[in-house]
Amino acid sequence: MKRALITGITGQDGRHLAEFLVGKDYQVFGLIRGQNNPKALLVQEENPALELVGGDLQDLSSLIAAVEQVQPDEVYNLGAISFVQLSFKQPELTADITGLGVLRMLEAIRVVGGTQNNPIRFYQASSSEMFGKVRETPQTESTPFHPRSPYGVAKVFGHYTTVNYREAYGLHASSGICFNHEGPRRGLEFVTRKVTNGVARIKLGLQSTISLGNLDSSRDWGYAGDYVAAMWLMLQQPEPDDYVIATGETHTNRELLDAAARCAGFDDWEPLVTRDPRFERPAEVDLLVGDAKKLQEKLGWQPKVGFEELVRIMYEHDLVEEAARAS
Ligand code: GDP
């Protein structure tokens, strides 16, 4: 039985990946921080096969202890301060967890090592936010980075640290440059979930408007469940490498609103949206669209869920959840 250690186990991707790996007969361990972390119960209820191990991306000795205890075949580093807007308010914390956390996890793997025949394989969740003010469209593995937020800057550090540990120490360390990926488990602070949840609540008469910032930015939105399969595929290869994980389609927030309004049977979303500068960022990423040709051609990965279906899955989930909460 293969053993996997996942950081960020309580987040959207950690939950999807844990489910995916249990389905592949892995013994799955999730790193959990803090005392009485309220999310621990949620993830254990959702996935009883999951085992939790204490540790914190801000604390190297706790990571060494976790890797020693678990003796993983594979480590997936999904833990991060992942909300761009928060990263502007807490840049130092973001640099520490999202950036230095990668270095600490790689150090723990380097120190503990694994066996010569079975070295620990490492996946780093890199981000399309590293492209920021994009230098070319679509973005590929060789597009230069120009991050536009403390989050993007920290992810660039994590990305290059992963490349460096691969080159310097021969670690099987791979980096997946993930474009935005969403689903019903996405936090309500992200624009997709804020919109599908808001439209569902409007449909149910629970609120009248949604407050949003910039409606003109455009993102390559995929389904998180599809993306964790790509992460796993990357670690099954004989050689570590970097891959873009993306759908190759981009949509503006206006198109997101169009799609969500269609799900609810509303002709026009304009009266339902108010603009609030508090949701605008000091520096914006205007357009992201990834080219995942390398992942498709070398690893045979294809996204299964398209944009309209993704929005529908999220809207329908939110409708049921909000109706249940209100009753
Ligand atoms: P990001 O790509 O990681 O920043 O994902 P988000 O879902 O947080 O934001 C996607 C885009 O939507 C960004 O360009 C935001 O500026 C824009 N946006 C507009 N209004 C909102 C809002 O109310 N909340 C969030 N999160 N983003 C918004």
Cβ-proximal residues to 76 (8 Å cutoff; 6+ apart), any chain: 4, 5, 6, 7, 14, 17, 123, 125, 231, 235
Cβ-proximal residues to 64 (8 Å cutoff; 6+ apart), any chain: 107, 108, 111, 112
Q: Report CA(211)–ligand 1 centroid distance (Å).
A: 12
pLDDT at 52 over 80: yes
Q: Where are the beta strands (DSSP E) in 44-180?
A: 51-54, 74-77, 121-127, 172-178
Are the C-beta atoms of residues 195 and 262 closer than 8 Å to each other? no
Please report the pLDDT score of residue 115 as a whole number: 64
Residue 313: its H or E element: helix 307-326
Are the C-beta atoms of residues 5 and 66 closer than 8 Å to each other? yes
Q: How many CA atoms lie within 13 A of 317 on its CB side?
A: 18
**Residue-wise pLDDT tens digits, 130-171:** 999 999 999 999 999 999 999 999 999 999 999 999 999 999
Helix, strand, coil percentages, rounded to 5, for the chain: 45, 15, 35
Q: Does domain 3-182+222-245 have CATH number 3.40.50.720?
A: yes
Specify the domain boundaries for CATH 3.90.25.10 within the chain: 191-219+250-287+305-326
pLDDT at 125 over 80: yes
pLDDT at 117 over 80: no
Q: Which CATH class is domain 191-219+250-287+305-326?
A: alpha beta
Please report the pLDDT score of residue 118 as a whole number: 80
Please report the pLDDT score of residue 34 as a whole number: 87
Q: Is the peptide bond before 277 cis (omega within 30 degrees of 0)?
A: no
The answer, yes or no, to whether any atom of ligand 1 lies below 6 A from the CB of 279, is: yes
Q: Report CA(84)–ligand 1 centroid distance (Å).
A: 8
Q: How confident is the model at residue 114 (pLDDT cuts 50, 70, 90)?
A: low
Mean pLDDT of 291-309: 98
Question: Considering the chain, what percentage of its residues have pLDDT values greater than 90?
Answer: 97
The answer, yes or no, to whether any atom of ligand 1 lies below 6 A from the CB of 288, is: no
80-94, 115-129, 139-153, 312-326: which has the minimum mean pLDDT? 115-129
The answer, yes or no, to whether any atom of ligand 1 lies below 6 A from the CB of 219, is: yes
Specify the domain boundaries for CATH 3.40.50.720 within the chain: 3-182+222-245
Distance, in Å, from the CA atom of 91 to the CA atom of 102, rounded to the nearest integer, reads 16
Active-site residue among 74, 129, 182, 322?
Answer: 129
Alpha-carbon 86 to chain mean position: 15
**Residue-wise pLDDT tens digits, 13-51:** 999 999 999 999 999 999 999 888 999 999 999 999 999
Residue 308: its H or E element: helix 307-326
The answer, yes or no, to whether any atom of ligand 1 lies below 6 A from the CB of 84, is: yes
CA distances from 199 to 129, 271, 279, 280, 309 (A): 27, 12, 18, 20, 16
Helix and strand totals (H; E) in the chain: 12, 13
Residue 228: its H or E element: helix 224-235
Please report the pLDDT score of residue 35 as a whole number: 85
- Which one of 81, 179, 181, 191 would you pick to mutate in the ligand 1 pocket, going by the greatest count of ligand atoms within 8 A of its CB? 191
Distance, in Å, from the CA atom of 130 to the CA atom of 144, rounded to the nearest integer, reads 9
**Residue-wise pLDDT tens digits, 187-223:** 999 999 999 999 999 999 999 999 999 999 999 999 9
- Measured by CA distance, the residue closest to atom 5 of ligand 1 is 190
